[in-house]
Amino acid sequence: MKQDEIIKAIIASAGDSPETRRQYLLQYLCQIQHRLSYIPGDAITQLAAMLQMPAAGIRGVIGFYAFLHEQPRGDYDILLSDSITDHMLGSRMLLQQLCNSLGVEIGVPRADGRVTVATTSCTGICDQGPAMLVNGQVISRLSGSRIDRICKLIETGTNISQWPAEFFQLEDNIRRRDLLLADETAAASPDGSALRVLLESGADALLDVIEKSGLRGRGGAGFRTAMKWRFCKQAAADNHYVVCNADEGEPGTFKDRVLLDSYADSVFEGMTLCAGVIGASRGYLYLRGEYRYLLEPLAAVLQQRRENGLLGQRILGKDGFDFDIEIHLGAGAYICGEESSLIESLEGKRGIPRNRPPFPVTHGFLKKPTVVNNVETFMAAARIAALGADWFCIAGTAESTGTKLLSISGDCERPGIYEYPFGVTIKQVLEDCGATNTQAVQVAGAAGTTLPVAEAGRCIAFEDVSTGGSFMIFNNERKLLDMVQNFAHFFAHESCGFCTPCRVGGSLLKDLVDKLVNGHATQYDITAMQQIGALMKRTSLCGLGSTAPNPVLDLLERFPQLVEDRLAHSGYEPAFDLDAALQEARDITGRDDAGAHIEAST
């Protein structure tokens, strides 16, 4: 099919009104990108006419998302994971090997138009890394020999569908099961029992059960699920919506990938349960762009549920119980894990966080009442509805009932998914996964908490160490500064740029961390880091900006000796080369005398 025919076929799927079409702008762009490896200018022109919006607005959306491009990426668009755990497994050397073998620079399409090699923050394959994406398909357990084989396939122009099947094999790696994962068959293939309980008992009674269970959002913030659903249910509107946040972008987190791969039925049951409670007829699964390879399997699960009477019109034969789910793809923007940014993206826009209040439960998707919960939360809600609050409260603590799924990676013998009752100690987790000689653990991803092994007696719980699921381990042979530097660069790159504290503060912190790593930092710089970090936490618009300083501040507070050992001296030294910064001025003025140089004039 020719390029213009592909574009027309994609755009032809749009709704009738420009307003409806604009909601799907990001989805059209993702489809065009996937089919053509870029978004041509004529596609932008066609979209602008059909959506009745300026081409500049469409280009603004393209520029916001890392996976969208206006220039061709070639037949093979390769993104190697840049997560710190991939670095620990040798990904940087493999990246260099890949670039050398293919004769490319990072991020620059090869002259013959065949291939582009770049990096992405995290592929969600931390337990089976190093990993990369090729045209959206994931390849795990990279090695030098596998890189050589991939390069040969690329040079011979072999279609990715004909690449060896073992390249694309992923494992769930579930190492410990508890309440949610214990009954593997029932959890993976629910028979609608949760929905039957809803129809038998009614929405209010079911909300009481969820409230009694103490279920809190599993994304890390821990807002009480029953309260969120009740607020949304009580909000008057002609439409209500259910949104599942599957934009699992926090580095080191991969539990949602496993749930979507093997337990999607339970997740969709939880979404449908929520819809029945709040009166929604439409739901959306917002799937991170790195998980595009799950799109077709998830669509198949949705279709099977429709055929089984568990989704669509008259669910379980009940008049008025109408609810269906669409899958929307993200396109490589970490900020879209924040719920208001996700909603903006779901509406086809740049994922800029909204000012709150109002909150999504009253003004969410299309300004209508919307429940946004993550994958694990919806699954837990479905199981609670089917098995009861007492079943769930058997595990956990008074403030943190039930269990938590941890994505464990880094320096341990058995990385993978572990389900624990809330209240488990970090020490117990380290023992179970085979971690030895541990220096520190990083809980809750880049935005989380870095703890020395001396604090391993602390508990995973909302009242102590809260987490969305990431648990990265660093032994005594690792340089923690490498991790902090990786995260500082990550946050500077992922800032949406909307608010000054995050946009400017993140960049300043990145430069200061680089200065510390390179052995040029002084006590003056340490004080600056503390001040900038505190300002970001206090004044940033959303959670990204307020948590971005965490790795740096934890390093300064909990690992002061590591910092002290890297300080150059107690005086002041600039974070960049002042003399080099004046080179452009010297070129413009034609001066190169001693007075035009910092060193010579001081």
| Predicted confidence (pLDDT) at residue 595 exceeds the cutoff of 80 | yes
Mean pLDDT of 421-445: 97
> pLDDT value at position 294?
98
Q: Which residues pair with 409 in a beta bridge?
A: 472
What does the alpha-carbon distance between residue 474 and residue 105 come to, in Å, rounded to a whole number? 31
Per-residue pLDDT tens over the stretch 490-509: 999 999 999 999 999 999 99
Residue 8 banded pLDDT, cuts 50, 70, 90:
confident
| Predicted confidence (pLDDT) at residue 353 exceeds the cutoff of 80 | yes
| Predicted confidence (pLDDT) at residue 184 exceeds the cutoff of 80 | no
Out of 20-29, 138-147, 321-330, least confident range:
20-29
Per-residue pLDDT tens over the stretch 441-460: 999 999 999 999 999 999 99
Mean pLDDT of 372-376: 97
> pLDDT value at position 596?
85
59 contacts 70 by C-beta, under 8 angstroms: yes
Instruction: List the one residue out of 179, 171, 186, 191 whose CA is nearest residue 257.
Output: 171
The SS3 call for residue 75 is coil
58 contacts 316 by C-beta, under 8 angstroms: no
What DSSP line would sit under 406-426, residue for residue? EEEEESSSS-EEEEEETT-BH
| Predicted confidence (pLDDT) at residue 400 exceeds the cutoff of 60 | yes
The SS3 call for residue 174 is strand
Domain 76-168 has CATH 3.40.30.10: yes
Q: Which amino acid would we find at residue 327?
A: I
Q: Which residue has the tokens 């390769």?
A: 78
What does the alpha-carbon distance between residue 296 and residue 305 come to, in Å, rounded to a whole number? 14
168 contacts 294 by C-beta, under 8 angstroms: no
> pLDDT value at position 572?
61
Sign of CA dihedral 416, 419, 423, 429: negative
As a whole number, the mean pLDDT across the chain is 94
Measured from the Cβ of residue 284, the count of other Cβ atoms closer than 10 Å reads 22
List the domain boundaries for the chain.
3-64, 76-168, 174-393, 403-478, 481-566
What does the alpha-carbon distance between residue 372 and residue 228 come to, in Å, rounded to a whole number? 9
What does the alpha-carbon distance between residue 506 and residue 122 come to, in Å, rounded to a whole number? 19
> pLDDT value at position 303?
97
Q: Exposed, middle or buried: residue 227 (CB in 10 Å: 0-12, 13-18, 19+)?
A: middle
Assigned CATH for 481-566:
1.20.1440.230
| Predicted confidence (pLDDT) at residue 569 exceeds the cutoff of 70 | no
458 contacts 425 by C-beta, under 8 angstroms: yes
| Predicted confidence (pLDDT) at residue 543 exceeds the cutoff of 80 | yes
User: Please, what is the Cα angle at 583 between 577 and 584, to 5 degrees?
Assistant: 125
Instruction: List the one residue out of 348, 352, 346 whose CA is nearest residue 364.
Output: 346
Q: Which residues, at least 6 apart from 272, have a Cβ–Cβ distance to it below 8 Å?
A: 195, 283, 310, 311, 315, 323, 325
What does the alpha-carbon distance between residue 211 and residue 231 come to, in Å, rounded to a whole number? 13
Per-residue pLDDT tens over the stretch 290-333: 999 999 999 999 999 999 999 999 999 999 999 999 999 999 99
What's the CATH architecture for 403-478?
Answer: Roll (3.10)
Domain 174-393 has CATH 3.40.50.11540: yes
138 contacts 293 by C-beta, under 8 angstroms: yes
Per-residue pLDDT tens over the stretch 84-100: 999 999 999 999 999 99
> pLDDT value at position 186?
62
* H or E element that contains 120: strand 115-120
Q: What are the C-alpha distances in Å from 529 to residues 344, 505, 514?
A: 32, 9, 12
Instruction: List the one residue out of 420, 428, 434 whose CA is nearest residue 469.
Output: 420
Share of the chain above pLDDT 90, in %: 87
| Predicted confidence (pLDDT) at residue 188 exceeds the cutoff of 70 | no
261 contacts 297 by C-beta, under 8 angstroms: yes
> pLDDT value at position 598?
79
What does the alpha-carbon distance between residue 367 and residue 81 come to, in Å, rounded to a whole number? 36
Q: Model pTM greater than 0.85?
A: yes
* H or E element that contains 377: helix 375-387
User: Please, what is the Cα angle at 166 between 161 and 172, to 5 degrees?
Assistant: 110
Mean pLDDT of 181-198: 82
409 contacts 472 by C-beta, under 8 angstroms: yes
Q: Which residues, at least 6 apart from 108, have a Cβ–Cβ distance to it below 8 Å?
A: 116
Which residue intervals of 471-517 are DSSP H helices?
480-494, 500-517
